[in-house]
């Protein structure tokens, strides 16, 4: 992150971490994967707006989890690049992803995320090396002896970390080693190697990349409780033994209205040990449906967590677990819950987004700060994304999302565009779409007649094409040209 300045008092927290942050700009040493190449314009945009700029100014890592396959979508890439200076592979660095069979490593997805982060000058947090979950059955059920499992684990750490040595500044070397009562969780590692597996993994990791900052990461350790006491005791013991532990990752999978009141004190007791703390996987879920009141409460909860981190020297980063609500693990796991992230499914900033931005010293709402924020005067005040969701020989299905950034409701909306040459719209849902020559117009169906301020409408279309489904060059909402993502 070249050219960072730390102008605010609370940025002092980050001063000691400057070297680690700078390490994130290292260049890729391995073969480039087959990923779209970033342009200088994307990189420039990434450094100009969103949460990223105020986070950069504070020297705070502000991150997100990223999925490799979603990098196909331009709006996802733009948002990940603009809003965040810190990237975690959501799944692509996990054991089952990189070594699904013994000795058969596969780094294509992990490399793709590395290339994206490096092209956008973002630091990367490595997640994760030793974890009981997303562990292939050849490890889980391998009936390995202590010596064999040590060899297998050492090889996995050496190969995975070694590939990115000098490129990944911080690693969750061990993930989720605790039960809720603070005792060590049963796992193939714990059963076979005893709790010393944690020290062994950290020691191996340190030998692979001595400059990397090595973390143990867990959930439900945000406040002071039995589980975080277990983590605290482990950290003290590892440090006493001289084991190379640099930090504690506090995941931060939280519930609206239930954020513990002592997050700051908890962070502080770890930093008092000389450790770094990162909130590694923040999301704050709610019971659906979403209401304004829940969104406001969620915003306050995000602010609380941000403030807790920002107020403790040594809390070096906060990462949210997914770019938007459309990419969150929460609805898949917690029935009836969701909307846990600061950006909604249509890429619109939620109150939580502005709470985070405000905590960082940036804008506190549309029109309060950065002229590139949605809804600012002088900007086009609608955003259209056009995503091909499936594709075959001469056909494709696309999703079109139009977001209203005007600050006013748009009733009886009408979206117009020129369909690329040779393409014909053969069907549509969630909107009425008429094509005349190459000119297309979408109008609402009964239930989505008005697009609320900050809200959006998504409709689908089936297209016939000559072999490739191209994106229209421009869209207009009520005759006003929209930004495209
Ligand atoms: O978000 C991840 C989801 O896509 C995976 O299916 C899941 C598998 O366990 O892991 C999720 O991420 C987890 C992270 O790796 C560790 N902490 C808890 C996260 C949410 O489950």
Domains of the chain by range and CATH?
38-359 (3.20.20.80), 382-484 (2.60.40.290)
The listed range with the strongest mean pLDDT (36-50, 126-140, 356-370, 387-401) is 126-140
At residue 369, the pLDDT reads 56
Mean pLDDT of 437-444: 92
Rounded Cα–Cα distance for residues 115 and 108 (Å): 10
pLDDT band per the 50, 70, 90 thresholds, residue 368 = low
At residue 93, the pLDDT reads 98
CA 328–ligand 1 middle distance (angstroms):
9
Rounded Cα–Cα distance for residues 337 and 330 (Å): 7
**What mean pLDDT is reported for the chain?**
87
Residue appearing with tokens 């995320």? 113
CA 187–ligand 1 middle distance (angstroms):
17
Mean pLDDT of 261-273: 98
User: Does 28 or 380 have the greater pLDDT score?
Assistant: 380
Quote the tokens at residue 230: 């277990």
The residues pairing with 472 across neighbouring beta strands, listed in sequence order, are none
Ligand 1 pocket mutation, candidates 66, 90, 282, 319, criterion most atoms within 8 A of CB: 90
Catalytic residue among 281, 373, 376, 423: 281
User: Does 470 or 240 have the greater pLDDT score?
Assistant: 240
Q: Whose CA is nearest to atom 12 of ligand 1?
A: 90
What does the pLDDT look like over 376-385, one tens digit per residue?
A: 434 568 888 8
Mean pLDDT of 416-420: 93
268, 312 Cβ separation under 8 angstroms: yes
pLDDT band per the 50, 70, 90 thresholds, residue 14 = very low
At residue 22, the pLDDT reads 27
At residue 129, the pLDDT reads 98
Ligand 1 pocket mutation, candidates 175, 281, 333, criterion most atoms within 8 A of CB: 281
Of the chain, the percentage scoring pLDDT greater than 70 comes to 87
At residue 484, the pLDDT reads 83
At residue 419, the pLDDT reads 94
What does the pLDDT look like over 78-107, one tens digit per residue?
A: 999 999 999 999 999 999 999 999 999 999
Ligand 1 pocket mutation, candidates 70, 91, 135, 185, criterion most atoms within 8 A of CB: 91
Rounded Cα–Cα distance for residues 57 and 59 (Å): 5
Q: Is the pLDDT of residue 203 over 80?
A: yes
Q: Is the pLDDT of residue 331 over 90?
A: yes
441 upstream amide cis, omega within 30 of 0: no
Rounded Cα–Cα distance for residues 330 and 48 (Å): 30
Catalytic residue among 176, 222, 276, 373: 176
Rounded Cα–Cα distance for residues 353 and 358 (Å): 8
Rounded Cα–Cα distance for residues 16 and 471 (Å): 46
Atom of ligand 1 nearest to the CA of 219: 17
Of the chain, the percentage scoring pLDDT greater than 90 comes to 72
Q: What are phi and psi of 458, to 5 degrees?
A: -120, 135
CA 39–ligand 1 middle distance (angstroms):
31
Q: Whose CA is nearest to atom 21 of ligand 1?
A: 329
Which pairing describes strands 475-477 and 456-464: parallel, antiparallel, or unpaired?
Answer: unpaired
322 to 11, 18, 67, 325: CA distances (angstroms):
25, 25, 8, 7
Q: Is the pLDDT of residue 253 over 90?
A: yes
At residue 298, the pLDDT reads 97
CA 302–ligand 1 middle distance (angstroms):
20
What does the pLDDT look like over 228-247, one tens digit per residue?
A: 999 999 999 999 999 999 99
Residue 176 bears catalytic tag: yes
Mean pLDDT of 138-148: 97
Q: Whose CA is nearest to atom 1 of ligand 1?
A: 329
Kindly report which listed range (168-182, 206-220, 376-390) carries the lowest average pLDDT score. 376-390
Q: Whose CA is nearest to atom 10 of ligand 1?
A: 91
Ligand 1 pocket mutation, candidates 110, 321, 327, 331, criterion most atoms within 8 A of CB: 321
CA 378–ligand 1 middle distance (angstroms):
40
Quote the tokens at residue 404: 């209203």
Residue appearing with tokens 């849902």? 429
Kindly report which listed range (68-72, 143-147, 429-433) carries the lowest average pLDDT score. 429-433
Q: Is the pLDDT of residue 189 over 60?
A: yes
Mean pLDDT of 158-173: 98
- Cα dihedral 75, 77, 79, 80, rounded to 10, equals 160
Atom of ligand 1 nearest to the CA of 128: 15
Q: Whose CA is nearest to atom 13 of ligand 1?
A: 90
CA 380–ligand 1 middle distance (angstroms):
37
Q: Is the pLDDT of residue 451 over 70?
A: yes
CA 445–ligand 1 middle distance (angstroms):
37
Which conformational region is residue 252 in: left (phi greater than 0), alpha (psi within -120 to 50 degrees), or beta? left
What does the pLDDT look like over 175-185, one tens digit per residue?
A: 999 999 999 99
User: Does 483 or 73 have the greater pLDDT score?
Assistant: 73
Mean pLDDT of 410-417: 92
At residue 216, the pLDDT reads 99
User: Does 306 or 10 have the greater pLDDT score?
Assistant: 306
Q: Is the pLDDT of residue 372 over 50?
A: no
Residues with CB under 6 A from ligand 1: 90-91, 133-134, 175, 219, 251, 281, 329
At residue 397, the pLDDT reads 86
DSSP string for 83-142 = H-SEEEESSTTSHHHH-SBTTB---HHHHHHHHHHHHTT-EEEEEEEEESSS--HHHHT-
Atom of ligand 1 nearest to the CA of 333: 21
- How much is the pTM? 0.71
At residue 367, the pLDDT reads 66
Q: Is the pLDDT of residue 42 over 70?
A: no
Q: Is the pLDDT of residue 130 over 60?
A: yes
């Amino acid at each position: 992150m070249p050219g960072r300045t730390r102008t605010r008092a609370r940025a002092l927290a980050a001063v000691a971490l400057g070297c680690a942050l700078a390490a994130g700009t290292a260049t890729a040493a391995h073969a480039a994967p087959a990923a779209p190449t970033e342009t200088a314009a994307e990189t420039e945009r990434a450094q100009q707006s969103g949460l990223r700029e105020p986070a950069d100014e504070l020297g705070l890592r502000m991150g997100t989890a990223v999925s490799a396959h979603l990098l196909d979508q331009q709006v996802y890439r733009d948002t990940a690049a603009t809003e965040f200076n810190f990237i975690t592979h959501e799944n692509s660095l996990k054991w089952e992803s990189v070594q699904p069979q013994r000795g058969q490593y596969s780094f294509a997805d992990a490399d793709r995320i590395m290339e994206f982060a490096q092209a956008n000058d973002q630091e990367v947090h490595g997640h994760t090396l030793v974890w009981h979950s997303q562990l292939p059955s050849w490890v889980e059920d391998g009936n390995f002896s202590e010596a064999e499992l040590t060899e297998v684990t050492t090889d996995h750490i050496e190969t995975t970390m070694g590939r990115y040595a000098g490129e990944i500044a911080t690693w969750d070397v061990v993930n989720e080693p605790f039960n809720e009562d603070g005792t060590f969780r049963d796992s193939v590692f714990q059963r076979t190697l005893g709790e010393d597996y944690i020290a062994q993994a950290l020691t191996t990791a340190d030998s692979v990349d001595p400059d990397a900052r090595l973390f143990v990461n867990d959930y439900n350790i945000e406040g002071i409780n039995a589980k975080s006491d277990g983590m605290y005791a482990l950290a003290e013991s590892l440090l006493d033994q001289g084991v190379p532990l640099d930090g504690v990752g506090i995941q931060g999978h939280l519930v609206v209205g239930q954020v513990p009141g002592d997050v700051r004190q908890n962070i502080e007791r770890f930093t008092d040990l000389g450790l770094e703390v990162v909130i590694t996987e923040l999301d704050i879920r709610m019971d659906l449906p979403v209401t304004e009141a829940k969104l406001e409460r969620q915003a306050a909860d995000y602010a609380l967590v941000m403030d807790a981190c920002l107020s403790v020297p040594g809390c070096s980063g906060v990462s949210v677990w997914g770019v938007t609500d459309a990419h969150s693990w929460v609805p898949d796991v917690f029935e009836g819950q969701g909307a846990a992230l600061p950006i909604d499914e249509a890429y619109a900033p939620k109150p939580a987004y502005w709470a985070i931005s405000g905590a960082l010293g940036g804008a506190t709402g549309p029109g309060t700060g950065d002229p590139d924020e949605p809804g600012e005067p002088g900007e086009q005040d609608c955003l259209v994304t056009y995503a091909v969701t499936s594709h075959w020989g001469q056909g494709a299905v696309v999703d079109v999302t139009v977001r209203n950034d005007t600050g006013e409701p748009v009733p009886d909306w009408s979206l117009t565009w020129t369909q690329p040459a040779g393409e014909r719209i053969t069907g549509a849902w969630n909107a009425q779409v008429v094509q005349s020559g190459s000119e297309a117009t979408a109008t609402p169906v009964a239930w989505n007649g008005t697009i609320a301020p900050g809200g959006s409408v998504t409709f689908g279309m089936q297209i016939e094409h000559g072999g490739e489904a191209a994106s229209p060059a421009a869209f207009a909402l009520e005759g006003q040209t929209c930004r495209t993502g």
